[in-house]
Amino acid sequence: MKKRVWIAVLLLAAAAAVLCFVLLRPGAKTAGTQILLDGEALSDPVLSPDSKDLRVILTLDGKEIANLPFEEAHTVKVIQENGDENSLVLTGDRVYMESANCEGQDCVKMEAVTRDNLETRVMFGMIICLPHRLSVEVR
């Protein structure tokens, strides 16, 4: 009986490793993704690279897809090839997920990130849309 349990555990571990490799490899799901900045296609993923202030970093499937200055006002829309969509708003003094077409809407319900709550909010400077594998970090 113990041998069967160990075989099942090893098979599950192998399946989990393969699944993680497929889902988390760089560029695995980001190739057909559109990033719109204020309605226009984002041509350069790093906007205002010389800014020494806080940055808003968007990551999809573990790959950085945009790096924006916190102090500028923008609307960012991430549209994935499979139809997943997120809309992020930067106001110049806060960042929040305006909308997402995921079921749970947890990312939309998260408190906005501001300079004042960056170190005290539950998720610190992070907003995460787990179903869409999208994370936003202010740092």
* CATH code where residue 112 lies: 2.60.320.10
Number of structural domains the chain divides into: 1
Query: Residue 88 pLDDT more than 50?
Result: yes
- Domain assignment of residue 93, given as a range: 30-138
Say if 95 falls within a structural domain. yes
Of 28-42, 71-85, 114-128, which gets the smallest average pLDDT? 28-42
- Whether 23 maps to a domain, the answer reads no
In a domain, 120, yes or no: yes
Residue 99 to residue 39: CA distance in whole angstroms:
15
Mean pLDDT in residue range 50-73: 95
Does some domain include residue 108? yes
pLDDT band at 6 (very low <50, low <70, confident <90, very high): low
For the whole model, what pTM was predicted?
0.77
1 in a domain, yes or no? no
In-domain check, residue 13: no
Examine residue 10 and state whether it is found in any structural domain, yes or no: no
The answer to whether position 7 is within a domain reads no
Q: What is the pLDDT of residue 27?
A: 43
